[in-house]
Chain A
Amino acid sequence: QKEVEQNSGPLSVPEGAIASLNCTYSDRGSQSFFWYRQYSGKSPELIMFIYSNGDKEDGRFTAQLNKASQYVSLLIRDSQPSDSATYLCAVKTSGNQFYFGTGTSLTVIP
């Protein structure tokens, strides 16, 4: 398995705050990077993907990628209780395979 590392958490933030999730990966050949949200007993849901260095924004979510540091992050602005879930970082290899991190559990406190 390609190594994808995340802080397992749990991470707790108050409603309206910014939640910051981090991920590092070991395979420099990784092409694309994804953030998924997973609720207990359900399949992952795609939040967004990024493949170029820098920031990519989609609504309240911003993904940041630094390939030199092999680091990708996800910022959630104006966090809502419905954002409480496990967030999975995934990397896509040249073989089109996806490898997932261990996930970070996020709780947004009303």
Chain B
Amino acid sequence: GAVVSQHPSWVICKSGTSVKIECRSLDFQATTMFWYRQFPKQSLMLMATSNEGSKATYEQGVEKDKFLINHASLTLSTLTVTSAHPEDSSFYICSAPGLAGEKYNEQFFGPGTRLTVL
């Protein structure tokens, strides 16, 4: 149980285009999901908290107009990188927290999406 999927697993795009990444909780409902970005040899940096039915909360320094987040249902959150540039190339990972019981303290991660902007 508690599986999170991401799609696509990797994407290559041209500079200036937009890319959408999907994050799905497959066997549980997630009112909250988190989006992280990880550059090579660096740690995961929290970008934003995605909230079902309301606006996402962005971390300081993260441009909300560039990284559009939509949490349209209890099982799906999307991250759209608008007008992508080479410096946006990174490993994007989503996660959803466990909500109850023994899973409460856990964070369930998707497999990640490797974005390369040419």
Whether both chains belong to one complex is answered with yes
Residues of A within 8 A of B (CB): 1, 32, 34, 41-44, 46, 49, 51, 88, 90, 92, 95-103
Asked if B8 lies at the interface with its beta carbon under 8 angstroms from chain A, I say no
Whether A1 and B60, one on each chain, are in contact in the complex, defined by CB atoms closer than 8 angstroms, is yes
Residues of chain A within 8 A of B49, CB atoms compared:
95, 97
A-B contacts, 10 listed (Cβ < 8 Å): A46-B106, A88-B43, A96-B32, A97-B34, A97-B46, A98-B34, A98-B46, A100-B46, A101-B43, A102-B43
How far, in angstroms, from A97 to B59 measured CA to CA in the complex?
A: 11
Taking the nearest CB of chain A, how far is it from the CB of B34, in angstroms? Answer: 7
| Residue of B with least CB distance to A43 | B109
How far, in angstroms, from A1 to B43 measured CA to CA in the complex?
A: 12
Q: Tell me what chain A mostly uses at the interface: helix, strand, loop, or mixed.
A: loop
Whether A44 and B109, one on each chain, are in contact in the complex, defined by CB atoms closer than 8 angstroms, is yes
Whether B43 and A49, one on each chain, are in contact in the complex, defined by CB atoms closer than 8 angstroms, is no
Whether B42 and A102, one on each chain, are in contact in the complex, defined by CB atoms closer than 8 angstroms, is yes
Residues of B within 8 A of A (CB): 32, 34, 36, 42-46, 49, 59-60, 91, 93, 95, 97, 105-107, 109-112, 114
Whether A96 and B44, one on each chain, are in contact in the complex, defined by CB atoms closer than 8 angstroms, is no
Residues of chain B within 8 A of A95, CB atoms compared:
49
Whether B43 and A32, one on each chain, are in contact in the complex, defined by CB atoms closer than 8 angstroms, is no
How far, in angstroms, from A97 to B105 measured CA to CA in the complex?
A: 11
Whether A96 and B111, one on each chain, are in contact in the complex, defined by CB atoms closer than 8 angstroms, is no
How far, in angstroms, from A42 to B114 measured CA to CA in the complex?
A: 10
B114's partner among A32, A41, A103 (CB-CB below 8 A) is: A41
Residues of chain B within 8 A of A101, CB atoms compared:
43
B45's partner among A1, A34, A51, A96 (CB-CB below 8 A) is: A1
8 nearest A-B residue pairs (beta carbon): A43-B109, A100-B44, A102-B43, A100-B43, A103-B43, A43-B112, A49-B105, A32-B105
Q: Are A43 and B110 also in contact (CB < 8 A) when A1-B60, A98-B46 are? A: yes
Taking the nearest CB of chain B, how far is it from the CB of A92, in angstroms? Answer: 7
Q: Are A46 and B45 also in contact (CB < 8 A) when A1-B59, A1-B60, A41-B91 are? A: no
